[in-house]
Amino acid sequence: MIGDLIDGPLWYFSAAVFLLGVLWRVFEILRAGVARDLAPPRAGGSAGAVRALFSRFLPRRSLVKTGKLQLIAGYMFHLGLFALLFFAAPHVDFLEERVTGFGWTPLPHWAFIVASEVAFAGLLLLLLYRLMHPVTRLLSSADEYIGSVLVFVVMLTGCLALARSFEVLRLVHLFSAELLLVYFPFSNLMHAFTFVISRSYTGANMARKGVNA
Amino acid sequence: MNEDFDQGLEVLNGQIDARVSSYFSSCVHCGLCAEACLFYTETGDPKYTPIYKLEPMRRLWFQRHTLRGKVAKRLGLSKEVTRQDFADWEELVYDSCTMCGRCSMVCPVGNDIVYMIRREREGFSKAGYAPEGMKAATHRALTIGSPMGVTLKTLRAVLVHVEKSVGRPVPIDLKGVDYMALFSSMEIVNFPEYIESLSRIFDAAGVSWTISSEAFEATNSGIQIGNREAAAELVGRVVNAAEKLGVKYVISPECGHAYMAIRWEGPNLIGRQYGFEVVHILELLDQLRSSGRLKLKDKTDTPLTLHDPCQIVRRGGVIDQPRNLLNEVASRFVEMKDHGDMNWCCGGGGGVSANDRAEPLRLKVFQRKKRQIEELGVDTMVTMCANCRIILEEGLEHYEMDTEVKMKSLTDMLAEHLEPSPG
């Protein structure tokens, strides 16, 4: 009974909240608008927007030394999570069945293990850093901790359910993922989408001034 | 005061556009911006983390621009922004931010934190929470025409000496010439040799130019304090004077914030494009160099380095020109480890130099620049901003390095190496 609820209505509900919530947040951001820049530019902004969108995936050299723990942990977590989310065999099957209608080559089992270990280590390091460093401790609100814990729980239950031999574990994983989907649009996790907007604005504005941002 | 605070809060709310909303939505509070800010690196105090300086604005954004925030506010789960918050944050918004923009270059999600600080200051200024020194400077700029109280009479007195030294009159209010030169008060009062250098170079290069008696001040206290009306008024004076004289170009002087004000913010402040172009003095000098009109005779072998003024270089895009020029007159020019668009600020930009109470903090954070100079072992530092120059000189003096390291203006240096004209 509960299983049917998690597998059916709750999944559709959480997916709908996620989709509509993300769209609403993007609308919330863009509706305020930005005044047209009247200063004659040195160059067009579009190329700068695209450049910043990609260049900010790499840190500035002068920051590599001082921010190395956050940077390394950040890469570990995000790359590991990306691999798990889109290339774990059960996810590929799930997405094919419920979302895309087509599948793709999943990660082999050993690669899944590596990706999950990397993602876990990254997430835990980031969480520890957030708790222990005076700067992140001062900046962080409940939002960051709730988001981190929810992602951790989803990843943990996902690993437990990997063998797909216990239906209960799969349902626990799906339920935690559904909670995450509902929480996502109203939290800082939205940065997974809004970074495209923020990087583009800055890249375009700075490019107009002749600066590669 | 109540009314001012409420107005300030509304002004602050009005500053939240799509860019600001996207920035706050994207911030994950990673704290990396702290590592780019000299106020944090030199004090170790987390309150100086750039994004933390925006906390009142972030809370206002959350409560008024997000669904979750609106619900949280209604349920009493989100703290209102209060007068006490403004009072507590005033130091962070003004004293410990030079608007240098280094943090904006490192944010992984691309947040332009300075863009937000500039806008946050609009709210703070309207609410009355701005440093007295900056308020007074803005008042002087509006009433006298200069944040330092420099009048036309003062300028004329300086020009008498310049004309005596150069041997020809300095053009004032000439109509139909190509260029109208602006100066910062700091140049007129502390470094009048800049005007002399300009005059010598323009004579040698055959540049037709003038000074306007109606608008010669380039700096804009309105932008620094965050008062859009004042900023627009000050820009408008320059625009009116330039358009009245019919010049093709207005030259922004060796002053970082002046360049930001007249080149990048000005048209947006007055709501239209100018009838002339704005060029930074180093852009012009580099154009003259590349076209063969600026002839330089020799190079110094003094080991020297270049301090990049943030608003001219990182925020203004004049990056290569000073290097092209310096390489023409210096054989032993070495770059600092962090230079160009990742330079470290002098510590006095963004109105901090006009804010007396910020002086101890400014001198403390100067240690970053001190280390940069010590790493290179040079005995001269060249720059192209009069405000940077005075701040750097004060810092060097404070740390008793002034006998070892001398400051120089790039324009002055070029004038010193000018090839004598055949006539």
Per-position DSSP letters for chain A, written without gaps between them: -HHHHHHTHHHHHHHHHHHHHHHHHHHHHHTT--PPP-SPPSS-HHHHHHHHHHHTTS--HHHHTTTHHHHHHHHHHHHHHHHHHHHSHHHHHHHIIIIIS---PPPPHHHHHHHHHHHHHHHHHHHHHHHHSHHHHHH--HHHHHHHHHHHHHHHHHHHTTT---HHHHHHHHHHHHHHHHHGGGSGGGHHHHHHHHHHHHHHHHHHHT---
**Given CB atoms, is B88 within the 8 Å cutoff of chain A?**
no
Q: Is 50 exceeded by the pLDDT of residue A40? A: yes
Confidence label for B16 from pLDDT (cuts 50, 70 and 90): very high
Least reliable range by pLDDT among A61-70, A118-127, B91-100, B354-363: A61-70
- Which long-range contacts does A98-103 make (Cβ < 8 Å, 24+ apart)? A98/A11
For residue B189, the domain's CATH number is 3.40.50.1860
Contacts with A77 from chain B: Cβ below 8 Å: none
How many CA atoms lie less than 13 Å away from A68 in the CB half-sphere? Answer: 5
Confidence label for A3 from pLDDT (cuts 50, 70 and 90): confident
A-contacting residues in B 322-381 (Cβ below 8 Å): 337-338, 341-342
The DSSP code for B190 is T
Percent of chain B scored above 70 by pLDDT?
99
Which of B17, B20, B21, B102 to probe the A interface (max A CBs under 10 A)?
B21
pLDDT of residue A166: 81
**Given CB atoms, is A209 within the 8 Å cutoff of chain B?**
yes
Structural domain including B177 reads: 149-290
Global ipTM: 0.95
pLDDT of residue B422: 64
Q: In this predicted model, what pLDDT tens digit does every residue of B203-261 receive, in sequence order?
A: 999 999 999 999 999 999 999 999 999 999 999 999 999 999 999 999 999 999 999 99
Confidence label for B101 from pLDDT (cuts 50, 70 and 90): very high
Q: What residue ranges define each of the domains in chain A, with the CATH number in brackets? A: 2-32+63-193 (1.20.950.20)
pLDDT of residue B265: 98
Mean pLDDT, rounded, for B27-35 = 97
* Residues B41 and B173 reside in one and the same domain: no
Report whether B150 contacts B250 (CB < 8 A).
no
Name every residue whose Cβ is closer than 8 Å to that of residue B322 and which is 6 or more positions away in sequence: B282, B306, B308, B313, B384, B410
Which of A17, A30, A38, A56 to probe the B interface (max B CBs under 10 A)?
A38
pLDDT of residue B1: 37
* Residues B310 and B366 reside in one and the same domain: yes
Query: Is B140 a domain residue?
Result: no
Contacts with B319 from chain A: Cβ below 8 Å: 210-211
Query: Is B162 a domain residue?
Result: yes
**Cα–Cα distance measured from residue B21 to residue B88, given in angstroms and rounded to the nearest whole number:** 23
Nearest CA to B15 out of B49, B52, B53, B64 is that of B64
Q: Is 50 exceeded by the pLDDT of residue B2? A: no
* Residues B176 and B126 reside in one and the same domain: no
**Given CB atoms, is B30 within the 8 Å cutoff of chain A?**
yes
* Residues B157 and B269 reside in one and the same domain: yes
Q: CA angle at residue B400 from B48 to B354, to 5 degrees?
A: 45
* Residues B201 and B334 reside in one and the same domain: no
**Given CB atoms, is B106 within the 8 Å cutoff of chain A?**
yes
Nearest CA to B308 out of B290, B285, B328, B326 is that of B326
Report whether B377 contacts B401 (CB < 8 A).
no
Query: Is B370 a domain residue?
Result: yes
Closest-CA residue in chain B for A57?
B108
pLDDT of residue B423: 55
Question: Would you give the end-to-end CA distance of chain B in angstroms?
Answer: 65
Of the candidates B130, B164, B197, which is a domain's last residue?
Answer: B130
Mean pLDDT, rounded, for B159-173 = 96
Q: Is 80 exceeded by the pLDDT of residue A163? A: no
Of the candidates B264, B290, B316, which is a domain's last residue?
Answer: B290
Report whether A48 contacts A212 (CB < 8 A).
yes
Q: Is 90 exceeded by the pLDDT of residue B403? A: no
Least reliable range by pLDDT among A87-91, B52-56, B195-199: A87-91
Task: Provide the domain count of chain B.
Answer: 3
Confidence label for B271 from pLDDT (cuts 50, 70 and 90): very high
Q: Do A211 and B66 touch (CB under 8 A)?
A: no
pLDDT of residue A2: 87
Query: Is B40 a domain residue?
Result: yes
Q: How many Cβ atoms sit within 10 Å of the Cβ of residue A11? A: 18
* Residues B358 and B397 reside in one and the same domain: yes
B319 is written with which tokens?
């990056």
* Torsion sign across C-alpha atoms B139, B184, A202, A55: negative
Confidence label for A164 from pLDDT (cuts 50, 70 and 90): low
**Given CB atoms, is A55 within the 8 Å cutoff of chain B?**
no
**Cα–Cα distance measured from residue A78 to residue A83, given in angstroms and rounded to the nearest whole number:** 9
Query: Is B422 a domain residue?
Result: no
Q: What integer best gives the mean pLDDT of chain A? A: 94
* Residues B117 and B166 reside in one and the same domain: no
Q: What integer best gives the mean pLDDT of chain B? A: 96
Of the candidates B68, B103, B130, which is a domain's last residue?
Answer: B130
The strand pair at B380-383 and B304-307 is best described as parallel
Q: CB-based burial of residue A98 (10 Å sphere; 0-12 exposed, 13-18 middle, 19+ buried)?
A: exposed
